[in-house]
A = this chain, B = another copy of it.
Amino acid sequence: MPVDPNATIEITCFDWVPDFARGFVRDLRPRWACEELGLAYRERPISAMHRPEWFYAEQPFGQVPVVRDGALRLFESGAILVHLAEREGRLLPQSGQARADVFGWLFAAYNSIEPVAMEQASVLIFHAGEDWAEARKPILFETIDKKLSRVTDALGEREWIAGDFSIADIALVTTLREFDRNGQLRKFPSLAAYLERGMERPAFGRAIEAQLEAFSEEPPIAA
């Protein structure tokens, strides 16, 4: 589904980010969901480096993505995934154990796994080389390994984390990618294979291509 300037759905993204963030900014999640659901969307790029003050009225923490769907305004990628899935009646079962499992894994990705990915980014990228970050690494990586090992057990032989492919997989795959940057996932071959399956979906490919295309080469000059 190509990006369409006349689409009803608008995804706010960044106009430029440093190399380490390219392909990892979280507007990837709604882009991916839109691609899976066959929904066209338009882009609204804003500056990550000079975050406009008015943007905080739309997103309390100045983060992307923010999504408009007609008159509706949505923030937090998890909430946006739920909205897009409910809008189309796909990627999130309507009821019963299947719905409970998708919601369980959706929140697990956001609250039980991604927080340690954020901490990892803190010690490996934002505070790389600082004494405290070096000292923090051993126990943090041990914690991460424990979590990945538990996700491995839970995944077992299944193709997707909670029944059919769902928004829980969009959240989990995009989170697990953070642990693939330093090869930690090599220790967990079935998780690495799961990640691969997710990233091989054509919708994922189109989503990441669109995110990368939206970035300018050089940081735009502040207005």
* A positions within 8 Å CB-CB of B: 56, 60-63, 71-79, 82-83, 96-97, 100, 103-108, 110-112, 114-115, 118-119, 127, 130-133, 135-136, 139, 147, 150-151, 153-154
Cβ A104 vs Cβ B74 within 8 A = yes
**Known pairs A111-B111, A111-B115, A131-B135 / 12 extra A-B pairs, C-beta < 8 Å:** A61-B147, A62-B150, A74-B104, A75-B104, A76-B103, A76-B105, A79-B106, A110-B111, A115-B119, A127-B139, A131-B132, A132-B132
- Report the Cα distance A76→B110, complex, angstroms: 10
Q: In the complex, which of the residues B63, B132, B153 contacts A60, with contact meaning CB atoms closer than 8 Å?
A: B153
Q: In the complex, which of the residues B72, B106, B136 contacts A96, with contact meaning CB atoms closer than 8 Å?
A: B72
- Report the Cα distance A97→B58, complex, angstroms: 13
Closest to A137 in B: B132
Cβ B104 vs Cβ A107 within 8 A = no
- Report the Cα distance A82→B10, complex, angstroms: 26
Q: List chain B residues, Cβ under 8 A from A133.
A: 132
Q: List chain B residues, Cβ under 8 A from A127.
A: 139
Q: List chain B residues, Cβ under 8 A from A153.
A: 56, 60
- Report the Cα distance A147→B56, complex, angstroms: 11
State the oligomeric state as a number of copies: 2
- Report the Cα distance A139→B147, complex, angstroms: 26
Cβ A112 vs Cβ B63 within 8 A = yes
- Report the Cα distance A99→B78, complex, angstroms: 13
Q: In the complex, which of the residues B82, B107, B135, B147 contacts A132, with contact meaning CB atoms closer than 8 Å?
A: B135
Q: In the complex, which of the residues B61, B83, B96, B150 contacts A150, with contact meaning CB atoms closer than 8 Å?
A: B61
- Report the Cα distance A60→B63, complex, angstroms: 29
* Selected A-B contacts with CB under 8 Å, 25 pairs: A56-B153, A60-B151, A60-B153, A61-B112, A62-B150, A72-B96, A72-B97, A74-B104, A75-B108, A76-B105, A76-B107, A76-B108, A76-B111, A78-B110, A79-B100, A79-B104, A79-B107, A83-B100, A110-B111, A111-B114, A111-B115, A114-B115, A131-B132, A132-B132, A135-B135
